[in-house]
Amino acid sequence: MNDVRPADVNIVSPALQPSFVTLGAPYVVPVPTTALATPQLLHVNTALGAELGLDDATLQSAAFVDIMAGNRAWPGAESHSSVYGGHQFGTWVPRLGDGRAHLIAEIVAADGGRRELQLKGSGPTPYSRFADGRAVLRSSIREYLCSEAMHALGIPTTRALALVGSPQPVRRETIESAAVVCRVAPSLLRFGHFEYFYYRDEHAELTPLADHLIDTQFPQFSQRTDRYAAWLGEVVARTARLMADWQAVGFCHGVMNTDNFSAIGLTLDYGPFGFIDAFDVHHICNHTDEGGRYAYDQQPMIGHWNCSRLLQACLPLLDTDPQRAVEIATAILDRFPALYGEAMTQRWRNKLGLAEARDDDRELINRFLSILDRGHSDFTRSFRAISRLNSHDDAPAHGLREEIADLERYDAWIADYRARLRSEGSDDAARAVRMNAVNPCYVLRNHLAQAAITAAEGGDFSEIARLFSLLQRPYDEQPGNEMYAAEPPPALRHIEVSCSS
């Protein structure tokens, strides 16, 4: 429950009541968090805290830990949960909502923008569907580390402020311990918020919801007569670029349901995600996704499909004439393939250090990806290694050839790649700098996350801190941390992750 003890409440400065909360019912309901037994601050993001105006003393205070655990309210605010629906694995589920999440505060950040703070794993809500409202330590560690790792990679994402653990037992497949993550974003609205009211035929409720989102997150559209079309066009464009961002670093989300897609274009909800180790274009990171709906090569198409569901839900906003609304929505959706294709091709060009755009770029790029796929070469290491290629001799790319299985195809491709670089007048040193700025040395591989989880379950939280620090500089080679850039040991190459959390 929210227990505000007056003795030390002023240690944490009052926050704003989230502006989303002012919409009231039927969008949100006040819901108290549920106290977590013996909470322990396992890690706190001091850099994000500073952006939010929270100093180190505040972040280490007992009052802050209690707030992050859900054991007290943030002064000046009341916790709420929101309702939404969603297409899960392609099937419409009419009522989902924040089943274990509470929106607890809004803070004006140093950049002047507002940030919503939400606890995940903070107890049951009216949308829990008979679940316990808790999150377990292993999934909370993964979300905490990955959301900040994605931010450091330059990929739009929710952030993570704090990770709190507890010995309180939680039953999943086995008995595990509880944890709470505090995630931070300008807005946590999802595609599913709009779908919920559309499929309930409560179309009048779409307008206040969309107006709130536009006025707070897209103020440049607020005064336009086509404000809804402008917002939806921007969300489609952001989603297309986000899919390209994911593909470029080998990130697989694992559960791309519409209720897990952000209405402002962020990576949202870290569940059974995974970064590809041995490249397989059909890689499935969620072992419960038996049909491969959310496999690596399907992600762009699912992003497109999800946008179609959002546009469907927003038809009543686009025009009072249903036919005209469909025409507007179709025109917006039809931009997705070109937006994605352009963004993706540019990201591959950047990863290969190509300074010019040419008509045969996609053929050159696809040949290289095919070589990696045929031999299941390590995705991250392969792109990182090719930056060391000397374009002016015939020696193999240092550190890459041993990753390749099909050497005949590789050698032919390398010859063409070198010829391309020479034709551009490429300076190898400058190219290497550019490539290393977009090809990470470190990503949150599953075996690294699992090592941190295993240690934490034994009471050692040092690996969480070590990984968190390492992943803040993913593009920099960090002496002494070479093991974190290595491919997984054979016994750890097939760690399976599911939706259970």
Show which residues are catalytic.
Answer: 259
* Cβ pair 375, 404 in contact under 8 A: yes
* Cβ pair 209, 193 in contact under 8 A: yes
d(CA 181, CA 109): 19
- Whose tokens are 């694995």? That residue is 89
Structure-token pair, residue 78:
């009341």
* Cβ pair 143, 163 in contact under 8 A: no
d(CA 237, CA 233): 6
Backbone angles phi, psi at 270, to 5 degrees: -95, 100
Torsion of CA 453, 457, 460, 465, to 10 degrees: 30
* Cβ pair 314, 192 in contact under 8 A: no
* Range list of β-strands (E), 64-174: 80-82, 86-88, 91-93, 101-108, 114-120, 135-136, 159-171
Please provide the DSSP assignment of 8-28 as one string.
SGGGS---BPPGGGGG-TTTE
Helices (H), 334-386: 336-351, 361-375, 379-385
Contacts 24+ apart (CB under 8 A), 97-102: 97/125, 97/126, 97/127, 98/125, 98/127, 99/124, 99/125, 99/127, 99/128, 99/129, 99/131, 99/133, 100/124, 100/125, 100/128, 100/131, 100/132, 100/133, 100/134, 100/135, 101/125, 102/31, 102/33, 102/70
Backbone angles phi, psi at 108, to 5 degrees: -85, 115
Exposure b/e, 160-178, CB count within 10 A at least 16 = b: bbbbbbbeeebeeeeebbb
d(CA 258, CA 88): 7
In Å, what is the CA distance from 352 to each residue of 56, 61, 433, 439?
41, 47, 12, 9
d(CA 120, CA 68): 10
For residue 39, give the nearest of 204, 224, 211, 163 by alpha carbon.
Answer: 163
Handedness of CA 187, 452, 448, 100 (dihedral sign): negative
What is the identity of the amino acid at 337? P
* Cβ pair 435, 387 in contact under 8 A: yes
Which is it for strands 274-275 and 175-185: parallel, antiparallel or unpaired?
unpaired
Which is it for strands 114-120 and 175-185: parallel, antiparallel or unpaired?
antiparallel
